[in-house]
Amino acid sequence: MSRTPRRPLESLDSLAPPGPPDAPARVLHELGEAAGLLEQVMAGRLGLARSDLVVASVLAVHGPRTAGQLAEATGLTTGAVTGSLDRLERVGFAKRTADPGDRRRVIVTLRVERLGPIIALNEPLVRSLQALDAEYDPAQRALLADYVRRAALQFRSEALRLRAEGRRSAPRKRRRRAAT
């Protein structure tokens, strides 16, 4: 393995966040990179698409949701969510039930008793993160959790803002390909 030229480019700070090399915001990006890689690997291990894990994760964090809410939360189209739910149901990780109050809706619920494979894959990471947390005292933990939560809110609100902005102005620009 020969060396490749190092040194992060300066003017890229605003691409892959920013500023002082050791600013918290900067390392957030490394975290995102690592989390994405893990998601990729886990999806492969489970024989699922990456989006399926995202959907499952939303359900795990927020509890049962409708298909439309899942589309909203993940940024997928409703069609893509339909496909993802088909796959999750097929392997038994989730189930669809009719909303008793509004029969157009489909409420999606995780089948906790069937999640063994996912939980097993996640367990080592969960344990090591808990161990990491345990190194901090309660006041520090509160500071850390608060920071992460606020950063997450900023990511989320920015995502929603960009999406809303895009729906208006650039309805959907895709590949410009010559006619047949």
Give, as ranges, the residues between 80 and 139 that touch DNA (CB under 7 A): 80-85, 87, 96, 101-106
- Is 144 a binding residue for its own copies by CB under 8 A? The answer is yes
Site residues for its own copies, 36-65, by CB under 8 A, read 36-42, 44-45, 47, 54, 56-58, 60-65
**Rounded to whole angstroms, how far apart are CA atoms 179 and 60?**
45
List the structure tokens of 134: 């345990």
91 binds, among DNA, its own copies, none (CB under 5 to 8 A by kind): none
- Is 168 a binding residue for DNA by CB under 7 A? The answer is no
- Is 64 a binding residue for DNA by CB under 7 A? The answer is no
Site residues for its own copies, 75-114, by CB under 8 A, read 75-76, 99, 101-102, 107, 110, 112
Question: For the stretch 20-43, what's the b/e string if a residue is b when 16 or more beta carbons lie within 10 angstroms of its beta carbon?
Answer: eeeeeebebeeeeeeeeeeeeebb
16 close to 29: Cβ distance less than 8 angstroms:
yes
Site residues for DNA, 137-156, by CB under 7 A, read none
The single residue among 69, 95, 115, 144 that binds DNA, judged by CB under 7 A, is 69
- Is 155 a binding residue for its own copies by CB under 8 A? The answer is yes
Q: For residue 11, with 0-12 CB atoms within 10 Å meaning exposed, 13-18 middle and 19 or more buried, which class applies?
A: exposed
Please state, as a whole number, how many other Cβ atoms lie within 10 Å of the Cβ of residue 150: 10
The single residue among 104, 168, 172, 177 that binds its own copies, judged by CB under 8 A, is 172
33 binds, among its own copies, DNA, none (CB under 5 to 8 A by kind): its own copies
Q: Return the percent helix, strand and coil in the chain, to nearest 5.
A: 60, 5, 30
